[in-house]
Amino acid sequence: MREIGHFIDGASQPGTSGRTGDVYDPSTGQVQARVTLGTAAELDQAVQVAVRAQAAWAQVNPQRRARVMFAFKQILEREMEPLARLLSSEHGKTIADAKGDIQRGLEVIEFACGIPHLQKGEFTEGAGPGIDMYSIRQPLGVVAGITPFNFPAMIPMWMCGVAIACGNAFICKPSEKDPSVPMRLGELFQEAGLPEGIYQVVNGDKVVVDAILEHPDIKAVSFVGSSAVAEYIYAKGATYGKRVQAMGGAKNHAIILPDADLDQVTNDLIGAGYGSAGERCMAISVAVPVTDKVADALVERLKPRVEALRVGPPTDSDVDYGPLVTREHRANVLRWIEQGVAEGAELVVDGRAVSFQGWEGGFYLGGSLFDRVTPDMDSYRTEIFGPVLQIARARDAEEALALPSRHQYGNGTAIYTRDGGAARAYASRVEVGMVGINVPIPVPLAYHSFGGWKRSAFGDTNQHGMEGVRFFTRVKTITARWPEGAGNAEFVIPTMK
């Protein structure tokens, strides 16, 4: 049985806690590895290594830090195929989807290669008589990322790419469900020339999470996961004086106006609703057709497409999506499908009964499609995080706008229309952090930033882009004067008059 420990001080190390978690092959349901669940002492060991290493790394000029990031990018491109297969083997997403996971993380690494420009401060000559004023952005020190199971490559790179380029040391606590890719990233960083101790991995569960939040030498924590945990991390991290960004759950709505191209809408909903088995915080999980006429036409198009979804082993290049990540997660999605039925929603396509010869133990679910879902249903209010698309009908555009705006989550939304004015008004008024116009999954590119509203995000700074640079640095402002001779004492606050 493969044993997964930690990556500390530039090398893999066995765990010492005696506690382990099972890492499954989701396609077969078999345990393929055991991961050590770390201790506060192991986290402290990594922090002490990071403190020593970060002081020297922060003194490396930005251009040389960028060269390490560029070398890392090239190595990742070389290792794309084996890394995607490793990711797929623990998560269950298809090889093509795993490559997309890695590529979106790589794009943040590319962004971080521009750190000499991104970390520049500001300068004002002659701010006062003989006075110059300037600001600089300095690294925080040791920072940490707590990352989810659904993007084991992308989200660690969203965090560590910017953090490390800015001169920090980064400690990753990945999901214990699929920890091997973050471990492998550590080895590839070493090959790229990153000093030992600047990127480390401490595997674990809540014990390590709490140790991160309580450790006095960890200055900032970035998190992506469920809203309940995000709120906990934000509150506890703030209590211990840390800078925290914590991204939570989602219930992303796609609004379909009567003038929309329903063929395009159908294609986009199939991909955005069922890709990666729905295990995406930016998945479209609710379609909102405006008027019953549009809803009926949409259901007529969607039903055969959902029934025809190809589900199977992620190594099969012909499948649309693979298994869910664990048996427990599959069971949870099943409970929410049953809840939707109990609440009176119309189950148009039932994907619960699906199995494949030779793969009966895998964590597979077919696609399910609900119609006539209403806002008072618990299955609507909750993030199901599986291959389930719900249709909530709206009488008019105002009712459609209200659904995502009033929902507890505000991560992403999309609107489908040919009317530019209607799209512009929706994008301006909707109470959601990321909006797509005829785009189903509006995840911003690396040079913009990712973040939702309401219970989808806790904290004031988004992921990656310039928001990431601001999160992982702090501003120091210097006011300088080089007097030619002694002046008189001043007893009032300096002004520019």
Domain limits of the chain? Answer: 2-248+456-478, 252-437
More confident residue, 428 or 129: 428
Phi, psi of 101 (to 5 degrees): -55, -50
pLDDT for 70 beyond 70: yes
Q: What percent of the chain has pLDDT over 90?
A: 94
pLDDT for 225 beyond 70: yes
The type of residue at 285 is: S
Q: What is the DSSP letter of 290?
A: B
Q: Residue ranges of the alpha helices (H) in 166-203?
A: 180-191
User: Residue range 456-469: average pLDDT?
Assistant: 95
Q: Is 269 exposed, middle or buried (0-12, 13-18, 19+ CB in 10 A)?
A: buried
Q: Which one of the listed residues 113, 160, 166, 281 is annotated catalytic?
A: 281
- What is the rounded average pLDDT for all residues in the chain? 96
User: How many of the other CB atoms lie within 10 Å of CB of 426?
Assistant: 23
Residues 6+ apart with CB under 8 A from 389: 269, 273, 274, 284, 285, 286, 287, 302, 306, 367, 368, 369, 370
Can you read off the two tokens belonging to residue 267?
Answer: 């294609």
**Spatial CA neighbour of 200 closest among 189, 191, 208, 211:** 189
Which pLDDT belongs to residue 317?
93
**pLDDT tier at 497, thresholds 50, 70, 90:** low
**pLDDT tier at 358, thresholds 50, 70, 90:** confident
pLDDT for 112 beyond 80: yes
Which pLDDT belongs to residue 400?
98
**Spatial CA neighbour of 290 closest among 407, 389, 398, 379:** 398
Q: Which residues share a beta bridge with 473?
A: 139
**Spatial CA neighbour of 170 closest among 141, 147, 207:** 141
**Spatial CA neighbour of 242 closest among 264, 268, 269, 211:** 211
Which pLDDT belongs to residue 219?
98
User: Residue range 254-283: average pLDDT?
Assistant: 97
Task: Say how far apart CA 409 and CA 202 lie, in whole Å.
Answer: 30
CATH superfamily of domain region 252-437: Aldehyde Dehydrogenase; Chain A, domain 2 (3.40.309.10)
Secondary element (H or E) of residue 62: helix 62-78
pLDDT for 1 beyond 90: no
| Per-residue model confidence as pLDDT tens digits over 139-182 | 999 999 999 999 999 999 999 999 999 999 999 999 999 999 99
| Per-residue model confidence as pLDDT tens digits over 31-59 | 999 999 999 999 999 999 999 999 999 99
**pLDDT tier at 427, thresholds 50, 70, 90:** very high
- Cα-trace Rg, the chain: 24
Helix axes 80-91, 95-112, angle to 10 degrees: 120
| Per-residue model confidence as pLDDT tens digits over 290-342 | 999 999 999 999 999 999 999 999 999 999 999 999 999 999 999 999 999 99
Q: What percent of the chain has pLDDT over 70?
A: 99
Which pLDDT belongs to residue 485?
67
Q: Strand 218-224 vs strand 142-146: parallel, antiparallel, or unpaired?
A: parallel
Is there a shared CATH topology between the 2-248+456-478 domain and the 252-437 domain? Answer: no
Which pLDDT belongs to residue 356?
77
pLDDT for 199 beyond 90: yes
**Spatial CA neighbour of 21 closest among 149, 178, 191, 132:** 178
Which pLDDT belongs to residue 42?
98
pLDDT for 489 beyond 90: no
Phi, psi of 270 (to 5 degrees): -65, -45
Task: Say how far apart CA 495 and CA 497 lie, in whole Å.
Answer: 6
User: Residue range 461-465: average pLDDT?
Assistant: 94
Fold for the domain defined by 2-248+456-478: Aldehyde Dehydrogenase; Chain A, domain 1 (3.40.605)
User: Residue range 70-96: average pLDDT?
Assistant: 98
pLDDT for 211 beyond 90: yes
Which pLDDT belongs to residue 486?
63
**pLDDT tier at 484, thresholds 50, 70, 90:** confident
Triad 185, 458, 456: Cα angle to 5°: 85
Which pLDDT belongs to residue 355?
77
| Per-residue model confidence as pLDDT tens digits over 380-399 | 999 999 999 999 999 999 99
**pLDDT tier at 495, thresholds 50, 70, 90:** confident
Q: Is 160 a catalytic residue?
A: no
User: Is residue 322 within 8 Å of residue 150, measured between CB atoms?
Assistant: no
Task: Say how far apart CA 170 and CA 54 lie, in whole Å.
Answer: 9
Task: Say how far apart CA 170 and CA 157 lie, in whole Å.
Answer: 11
User: Is residue 474 within 8 Å of residue 121, measured between CB atoms?
Assistant: no
Q: How far is CA 241 from the centre of its chain?
A: 23
